[in-house]
Amino acid sequence: MKRIEQLVQLQQTQNWDVIIIGGGACGLGTAVDASSRGFKTILVEAVDFAKGTSSRSTKLVHGGVRYLEQGNISLVIEALKERGLMAKNASHLVSNLSFVIPSYNYWGGFFYTIGLTIYDILAGRLSLGKSKYLSKKKTIELLPTVEQKGLRNGVIYHDGQFDDARLAINLAQTAVENGACVLNYMKVISLLKNSNHQVIGVVAEDTKTGTKHEIRGKAVINATGVFTNSIMKMNEKVYKKYVVPSQGIHLVFDKSFLPSKNALMIPKTSDGRVLFAIPWHDKIVVGTTDTLMKSHSLEPIATEEEIAFVLENAQRFFSKKPTRADVLAVFAGLRPLAAPEEEGKSTKEVSRSHKIIVSETGLITITGGKWTTYRKIGEDIINKAIAVHNLPKSACKTKDLPIYSNKITNEKERENHLYIYGTAISKIIQLQIDEPELKEKLHPNYEYTLAEVVWAIRNEMATTIDDVLARRVRLLFLDARAAIASSQKVCDLLAKELGYDEIWKQNEIITFKKLANGYLLKEFRVE
């Protein structure tokens, strides 16, 4: 997947069947669906693939235990089915994870066992494992650092885990394999309309060169997440708010705080929210919050209140108490929730299910949804596009479509950090053989090598330090200080591979350090 080749395809194609705005989970899933059905498809992303919400999730592929508690059975059933399909079609990135719920009253373990048994039944043949009641002793065995004071029992259940940004890259590659044109750093600046005020395309600016492109097609899809309202302002004379951003944050700690292959799940924290502590890439990710925000940002920053909330609850449930000094990284994401009909609703009352809106102009907009159901969202959008824009009828192919690099990966193979590359692992190893200098580590404490950086630049459209360290090798999300320390090596490789000069390098380092400081608590930020 090379950007220059995608630009050539853009220039050589006059008319498209499907134009997708937005390179997150929904947009990429739609591109895979449309291209696999044979439609001429183009996707344009203003920054980088999964730059926004889609790289900042809790890393779970799940039916939604709390939706079950809320009685939203249909959403749970749909998500559990999609969880099974994700595990099959992207098995190198999706894995089975055991979750333990510690209970501090006698009836808790029994209560949650009953509820989670229903969860298993709803999953049917796609269940990842049977939920079981746990004694106090067994709970401690599975969670060695759980707070033992007052612990009575527990329950274990199974759900899925994945690497969100890596899946986004693989979805882009899958779309390209199926003939789609996929471009990052291509920002839509206006919508093209005919004399009947129908949307017939977009004007997009290549932010790398300043070149503007008129892209015309039959169906235009707005899949821009928290930026949906911005596209709708271009579309409608009378502006209406379609999505509301809800912020969720995560703190990342060393795995010594939870030295286990199992995750910890707290169904009700001090304010009634769900909290997870999840092993991920040899670290522990703890979150999340649910804070309604008034505005959106490409780089949302965790508030001090959110940080304190997550830290306080981690201290309550870990016997080894983490402090602010133990936070390796903090990342914030904005969920694009469908705006409620009534003002003043809390985020808990706003629907998590996706909603497709067809404007009078013919623009198709997707709101809500989550990573687990990205494939179904794409299917629903293209079905709607076929109906609204009279595209040739074609059946969905994605239920059995392997994602790029799909490879059945066992637990032993996942101990090698390269497992996320699936079938492409051999190509990265070959790169190290052909160019031995690329065996060098990015950072002494981590296994990432220069070969992975070069692979990302040559094959995954990475053009900035942020692209590489946030969404290709994930180091910024795991250890922000280590990412900053590695930034010069990445910058040098980018300049060498893409022909950037010294002035660009100096500016790029400054830009990345400023961005990376947002992933550190304020007292630990780097000058």
Each residue of 370-385: pLDDT tens digit? 899 999 999 999 999 9
Q: How does residue 351 score in pLDDT terms, banded at 50, 70 and 90?
A: low
What pLDDT is stored for residue 273 in this prediction? Answer: 76
The b/e string for 298-331 (b: 16+ C-beta within 10 A; e otherwise) is eebbbeeebbebbbebbeebbebebeeebbbbbb
Does 429 map to a domain?
yes
Our count of domains for the chain comes to 3
How far from chain centre, in Å, is Cα 488? 26
Taking alpha carbons only, the member of 280, 301, 320, 298 closest to residue 479 is 280
HSE-CB for 35 with a 13 A CA cutoff: 24
Q: What is the pLDDT of residue 424?
A: 96
What is the per-residue pLDDT across 466-520, written as a single tens digit (0 to 9) for each?
Answer: 999 999 999 999 999 999 999 999 999 999 999 999 999 999 999 999 999 999 9
* 88: in domain: no
* 211 and 292 share one domain: no
CB of 201 closer than 8 Å to CB of 428: no
Residue 27, in any domain of the structure = yes
- Rounded to the nearest 5°, which phi and psi values hold at 220? -115, 125
- Mean pLDDT value across residues 342-351: 50
What is the pLDDT of the chain when averaged over all its residues?
A: 93
Cα dihedral value 369, 372, 377, 379, nearest 10: -170
- In a domain? residue 497: yes
Cis bond leading into 288, ω under 30°?
Answer: yes
> Rounded to the nearest 10 degrees, how much is the dihedral formed by the CA atoms of 71, 69, 53, 241?
40
Residues 253 and 112 grouped into a single domain: yes
Q: Which residues contact 184 (CB under 8 A, 6 or more apart)?
A: 3, 23, 45, 47, 48, 49, 461, 463
For residues 350-359, give the mean pLDDT: 79
Return the closest-CA partner of residue 112 out of 124, 122, 121, 102: 102
User: Among 322, 338, 354, which residue terminates a domain?
Assistant: 338
339 φ/ψ sector (left φ>0, alpha ψ -120 to 50, else beta): beta
CATH, residue 452: 1.10.8
Residue with tokens 């796609």: 126
Residues 156 and 272 in one domain: yes
Residue 344 clears pLDDT 60, i.e. is over it:
no
Q: What was the pLDDT predicted at 368? A: 86
Asked if the structure places residue 206 within a domain, the reply is yes
Same domain, 326 and 186: no
What mean pLDDT comes out for the span 69-85? 84
Instruction: Decide if pLDDT at 310 tops 80.
Output: yes
Q: Which of 125-129, 384-388, 453-457 shows the lowest per-residue confidence on average (mean pLDDT)?
A: 125-129
φ/ψ of residue 103, rounded to 5: -120, 135
Q: Is residue 495 part of a domain?
A: yes
> In this structure, are 141 and 182 located in the same domain?
no
User: Cα separation of 101 and 387, whole Å?
Assistant: 45
Q: Is residue 8 part of a domain?
A: yes
Q: Are residues 324 and 250 in the same domain?
A: yes
pLDDT for the residue 343? 54
Hey, is 287 helix, strand or coil?
strand
From the list 420, 431, 508, the residue with the least C-alpha distance to 462 is: 508
Same domain, 328 and 382: no
Do 301 and 208 lie in one domain? The reply is: no
Please tell me the predicted confidence (pLDDT) of residue 126: 82
Assess whether pLDDT exceeds 90 at residue 69. no
112/205 same-domain check:
no
Question: What pLDDT is recorded for position 323?
Answer: 97
Q: What is the pLDDT of residue 186?
A: 98
Half-sphere exposure of 118 (CA within 13 A, CB side): 15
**Structure confidence at residue 347 (pLDDT):** 46
Say whether both 128 and 23 belong to one domain.
no
Token digits of residue 411: 């637990």
Q: pLDDT at position 48, please?
A: 98
Lowest pLDDT segment from 128-132, 177-181, 197-201, 327-331: 128-132
Share of the chain above pLDDT 90, in %: 80
The stretch 253-257 carries a mean pLDDT of 97
**Tens digit of each residue's pLDDT (9 = 90 or more) over 257-293:** 999 999 999 887 776 778 999 999 999 999 988 888 8
pLDDT above 80: residue 250: yes
Domain that includes residue 476, residue range? 415-524
Choose the final residue of a domain: 288, 305, 338.
338
Task: Give residue-wise pLDDT tens across range 420-441.
Answer: 999 999 999 999 999 999 999 9
Query: pLDDT tens digit string along 7-23?
Result: 999 999 999 999 999 99
Query: What is the model's pLDDT at position 294?
Result: 82
The CATH number of residue 331's host domain is: 3.30.9.10
Any idea what DSSP says for residue 146? B
Does residue 360 share a domain with residue 374?
yes
Q: Are residues 358 and 479 in the same domain?
A: no
Last residue of a domain, one of 375, 400, 425: 400
| Cβ burial, residue 459 (10 Å; 0-12/13-18/19+) | middle
- Residue 83 inside a domain? The answer is no
